[in-house]
């Protein structure tokens, strides 16, 4: 695979939107996300919801409550 442009990102938060948009072209699911997980907390950095909004960016929960 060859790319004509290389994007420069200063953070995972900035890059995650483009990554999820690209993945959405190949993965036929409603929702997927990029999250930070430190085994205590889960912080959703960015999410992709194709039709139904199941999970939104900015959602936070305890690790023990995530599944």
- DSSP-assigned letter for residue 58: T
Q: Is residue 54 part of a domain?
A: yes
Q: Is residue 36 part of a domain?
A: yes
Q: Where are the beta strands (DSSP E) in the chain?
A: 31-37, 41-49, 60-62
Q: Is residue 52 part of a domain?
A: yes
Domain extent for 41: 31-66
Could you give the number of structural domains in the chain? Answer: 1
Model pTM greater than 0.85? no
CA 33 to chain centroid? 3
Q: Is residue 10 part of a domain?
A: no
CA distance 53 to 67: 17
CA distance 27 to 33: 12
Convert the pLDDT of each residue in 36-64 to its tens digit: 999 999 999 999 999 999 999 999 999 99
């Amino acid at each position: 695979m060859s790319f004509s442009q290389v994007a420069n990102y200063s953070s995972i938060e900035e890059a995650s939107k483009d990554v999820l948009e690209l993945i959405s072209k190949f993965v036929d699911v409603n929702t997927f996300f990029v999250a930070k997980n430190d085994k205590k907390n889960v912080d959703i950095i960015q999410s992709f919801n194709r039709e139904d909004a199941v999970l939104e960016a900015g959602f936070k929960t305890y690790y023990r409550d995530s599944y």
